[in-house]
Amino acid sequence: MEEKTIISFQKTDKNQEEIAFHDIGTADYMEAWQYQQKLFDQVLELKNKGSEKMLHHLIFCQHPHVYTLGKSGKEQNLLINYIQLQARNATFYKIDRGGDITYHGPGQLVGYPILSLTNLGLGLKEYIYKVEEAIILAIAAYGIKAERLQGATGVWIDTETPGKTRKICAIGVKSSHWVTMHGFALNVNTDLSYFGHINPCGFTDKSVTSMEKELNKPLNFEEVEKVVLSKLLQVFGFIS
C-alpha cells in the first residue's frame, strides 16, 4: 500500500479541529483495514487524553475485488462458493461494521472517514445523514438525481418507482467510543457484474448502478474523487 496524498484541512468554526485526507490509491482490503485501525487508535488516544486539538482522518482508495459481510449480515447473501470466488479473483471477509454484504472493486471510490463525533458535535444518525448528503451533492454535479431511501442507508435512485429503485452508493459504518470507522462505497466506473453474486446489502428486490451506467460513459475517476472530497469537507464544515 502506497500513500499518494496527505493534506490537512481546518474546520471553519473550530480552529482546533483538523482533518487529514489520505489518498492511498489501490489498496488490499486487509491492509486498508489495518491502516484504518491505526488512525482510529490515534484519534481515540487524542480523545481520551482530552486534547484541545483533534486531528480527524479521511481515507480514499480503491480495492481489488472483495466481498465484505457486516456483523449483522447473513452469509447466504453471498451466492457463490470459495472456488467461484477464486475464479473471479475475489476475496471474502467478515468485518465489524454495520450492514449486510457488499462488494468493493476497481472503479469504485471507497471512503473511510475516521472522525471523533463527540468533537464534531454529531450523533451517529446525523453523521450518516451527512455522508449521504455529500454523495448526493457530488453526483448531482454530474446531473445524477439521487436521494435517500426510507428504512435503508446509502444513496439511491428512483426511490418512488417500484422495480427501478437502485443503489449507487453503499454506506456501512462502525462507531466505537464515538469514533467512526469504515464508510461509503460509490460506484463510479464499477464492474456491476460482481454484484450479481450477492444480495447487495441483503436486498433481493433492488438493483445497483454506477455513475458510468447512469451517464452511459466512463468518468475521470480522479475528478470524481476531487468532487466527493469537496462535498464531504463542505457538509462537515472543513475549509477546502
Q: Residue 191 is placed in which grid cell? A: 464492474
Distances from the Cα of 184 to the Cα of 54, 82, 106, angstroms: 22, 25, 15
Residue among 193, 191, 172, 192 at smallest CA distance from 183: 172
Q: Is residue 169 among the annotated active site residues? A: no
> Which of the following is catalytic: 46, 201, 211, 224?
201
Residue among 8, 113, 96 at smallest CA distance from 61: 113
Strand partners, 112: 59
Residue among 77, 121, 97, 119 at smallest CA distance from 185: 97
Residue among 90, 186, 99, 111 at smallest CA distance from 141: 186
How would DSSP label each residue in 101-130? EEEE-TTEEEEEEE-BHHHHT--HHHHHHH
Strand partners, 175: 180
Compute the distance between CA of residue 233 and CA of residue 21 in angstroms, rounded to an integer: 10
Which amino acids are annotated catalytic? 201
